[in-house]
Structure 1
């Protein structure tokens, strides 16, 4: 009896260990193994009275430690996997953001709305000729009364070295000038106007605007010229009175403002007031690149009421040209990047000069300066079919860049063009009614850039189209067909 009890006690731990080993071998996962192992060892201790006093099996400790290490390793692997997933998600978001940015830049700078292959100048009779060999004729203003074209000129040799790009950052050796060109002499030579009462030796004219009025005291007709001067000390609007007898420009006033950041063009409302466009919000060229690449619309239109300046339009996408209707009731602003001409209605409050949006006219090219026919109200628009080529040309990497001129014809009410929506009726919503078109866009001039590259302005006079460019050293004068 004693022998049988002793044999039973001796056999019991062996059975327990065998069951433990079997459980370890048959376990489906390390977690099950660890749980089962711990349970088996505990039952072995409880079932054997002498187990508490016996020494621990080194093999069991080694296996337990190995199992715990495997569990720790598995947990670390799972945590690492989760961290890797989060990291991959963040990287994917960054890559997607960069992709969207590159796509936006590609669409803005590479793709164009009206990219065309031009082999020669088209749309004209072919009797285009170069005239007025002056450097960088960036803007043209037509005076029908004097039969003159006022032309702003600058050689822009400072552009590459300037940190501003739109104006020199240091004093230049040569200044720009204002020229007049007799329109009734097709091959007439330009005449440089002398500046009177102008003490600054830093003159780089760009956008201009003419305004004719009658002097209240002398009752004489006077011509006043508003000029944007890209001085290296800061952008200034110089207001001159023109004298045809002496061929001079006499300074009336210089207008400075912190709101003149990157002024491009100007339109005079009366003898004192004007609107001015800032095509970028950052004056340095690196900030301009950031604005263009990101597609951020930060351009503004500033109003000067004769005493002070303030913004009347904001968040415009590169507003370049600005002009007014002959009756003064509308203001036109070109959006270079949006490829449209915005039409605004003026208000009666001349102190504030607020503008109310009327309509946008799609041009399809990158729109530059605007000129208005004072007889018909038609708008002549200089534009660039390819911005990438235009930019490389401006930076000196392309010898020429295409030029394109369109006319936005103002229609009489009886000639309004009806529009019909392409949308169908949806449920109880009727098809939207579209207003009739009051403007019609017509192509006038194409060129691959051989006769004039990257035209910045196109002015009309007596069935002649006069084109200028800040990157050329001449004007181009063409006769339009009668049907144009």
Structure 2
């Protein structure tokens, strides 16, 4: 009997210890002290602005927008890729109004070559949602490829492959090649739940070389945002549930990746945006991950948000918070994009994104 009680007590201690460790890593004990980069104004007309990238030529922002609340409520609405001028009072404009009804965009990546030609790559979930499971009979996930012509999107190709288990974000290498992240290695169901709460490293990075898909990196926990350095020789991948970024050495010729180091950032980093002027990374993400999961299920629950700049020119890299909010201004931040002193912060679920202007 004593032996049995000892085993039970030991198991209870292990479970309690794991739960406390999970709560700590998820940031649930963190005190949220607000930080503002200036005047921040909400802009409506772009629900679920999960990913945002600035156009280096026009200064416009490309926004991936999908009303995930409506989908969870059983009334899915067509998503959109929007163009937004941060120097205008105009609302965001749909750049692909002919998109099909099952268009549900997620991560996006804009590639611009030296001649000014541009291609936009977009993760799409026509048949499956991270928050709903299977929703259609066709491909669960696709990658849509567009040419940017006169500020409009001209659809070029739809790519689908068995490697797209749960694609989240992507980064273009050129007009044909890219990498994308699978945030999970398992399909919706009990295995995915275990993957989340046990933080199993089953996510990966997949490379498309213009002809075929192949795994480029494995062993990640909830792989999310992904970015390339300016010289194309370093790849960065966010691991949300581990509060860190993986850095890989990239072979430009073959595209092969070799892990170099991990960078701890101390919060649930979601998307990554590259500052083309400095080479720094701008991060958007979640200060309390478990609170964010509650926010996903209930819009009345605020989830604290953070945006930060990661300076890669210092050793070790220096993280500077530029926006911290308890969720009242913006819950569930997922991206921070900067250009000419204007910071755009998007989120997974909110009906608006924020425009913040430094010094105002």
Regarding TM over 0.5, the answer is yes
User: What residue is the counterpart of 1:335 in the other structure?
Assistant: 239
Q: Cα gap change, 1:133/1:282 in structure 2, threshold over 3 Å: closer, same or farther? A: same
CA distance in 1, matches of 2:53, 2:301: 27
Per-residue deviation at 1:111? Answer: 5.3
Structure with higher helix content:
1
Contact 2:35 2:321 in 1 (8 A): no
Question: Which of these residues, 110, 117, 120, is aligned with residue 31 of structure 2?
Answer: 117
CA distance in 2, matches of 1:159, 1:111: 30
3-state SS of 1:221 partner: coil
Q: Cα gap change, 1:292/1:194 in structure 2, threshold over 3 Å: closer, same or farther? A: closer
1:96 paired to 2:10: yes
User: What residue is the counterpart of 1:454 in the other structure?
Assistant: 332
User: What residue is the counterpart of 2:22 in the other structure?
Assistant: 108
3-state SS of 2:20 partner: helix
3-state SS of 1:345 partner: strand
User: What residue is the counterpart of 2:96 in the other structure?
Assistant: 194
Per-residue deviation at 1:366? Answer: 1.0
Per-residue deviation at 1:116? Answer: 4.0
User: What residue is the counterpart of 1:68 in the other structure?
Assistant: none
CA distance in 2, matches of 1:98, 1:284: 29
Per-residue deviation at 1:349? Answer: 3.4
Where does 1:384-395 land on structure 2 (aligned, <5 Å)?
A: 384-395=286-297
Contact 1:110 1:386 in 2 (8 A): no
User: What residue is the counterpart of 2:310 in the other structure?
Assistant: 408
1:235 paired to 2:165: no
Contact 1:132 1:188 in 2 (8 A): no
3-state SS of 1:271 partner: coil
Question: Which of these residues, 354, 362, 369, is aligned with residue 256 of structure 2?
Answer: 354
Question: Which of these residues, 30, 39, 42, is aligned with residue 130 of structure 1?
Answer: 42
User: What residue is the counterpart of 1:431 in the other structure?
Assistant: none
3-state SS of 1:337 partner: helix
CA distance in 1, matches of 2:44, 2:308: 23
1:212 paired to 2:112: yes
Question: Which of these residues, 157, 160, 180, is aligned with residue 69 of structure 2?
Answer: 157
Where does 1:244-323 land on structure 2 (aligned, <5 Å)?
A: 244=150, 247-323=151-227
Contact 1:115 1:385 in 2 (8 A): no
1:442 paired to 2:324: no
CA distance in 2, matches of 1:118, 1:296: 28
CA distance in 2, matches of 1:305, 1:323: 16
User: What residue is the counterpart of 2:355 in the other structure?
Assistant: 477
Where does 1:68-83 land on structure 2 (aligned, <5 Å)?
A: none
CA distance in 1, matches of 2:29, 2:356: 23
Higher relative contact order (CA 8 A, sep 6+): 2
- Once the two structures are superposed, what CA deviation does each residue of 1:419-465 show, in whole Å capped at 9, x if it has no partner? xxxxxxxxxxxxxxxxxx15211111111111111101110111121
CA distance in 2, matches of 1:251, 1:316: 32
Contact 1:104 1:293 in 2 (8 A): no
User: What residue is the counterpart of 1:372 in the other structure?
Assistant: 274
Q: Cα gap change, 1:460/1:103 in structure 2, threshold over 3 Å: closer, same or farther? A: same
1:178 paired to 2:81: yes
Per-residue deviation at 1:106? Answer: 3.4
CA distance in 2, matches of 1:97, 1:140: 45
User: What residue is the counterpart of 1:326 in the other structure?
Assistant: 230
Structure with higher strand content:
2
User: What residue is the counterpart of 2:285 in the other structure?
Assistant: 383
3-state SS of 2:17 partner: helix
Per-residue deviation at 1:386? Answer: 1.0
Contact 1:104 1:294 in 2 (8 A): no
- Once the two structures are superposed, what CA deviation does each residue of 1:47-83 show, in whole Å capped at 9, x if it has no partner? xxxxxxxxxxxxxxxxxxxxxxxxxxxxxxxxxxxxx
Q: Cα gap change, 1:206/1:148 in structure 2, threshold over 3 Å: closer, same or farther? A: same
CA distance in 2, matches of 1:328, 1:372: 12
3-state SS of 1:301 partner: strand
CA distance in 1, matches of 2:259, 2:303: 33
Per-residue deviation at 1:253? Answer: 1.4
Moved segments of 4+, more than 6 Å? none
Contact 1:195 1:250 in 2 (8 A): no
1:224 paired to 2:102: no
Q: TM-score, normalised by structure 1?
A: 0.67
When Rg is computed on C-alpha atoms for both structures, the one with the higher figure is 1
Which structure 1 residue ranges, 5 or more long, are not aligned?
Answer: 1-83, 163-171, 215-219, 417-436
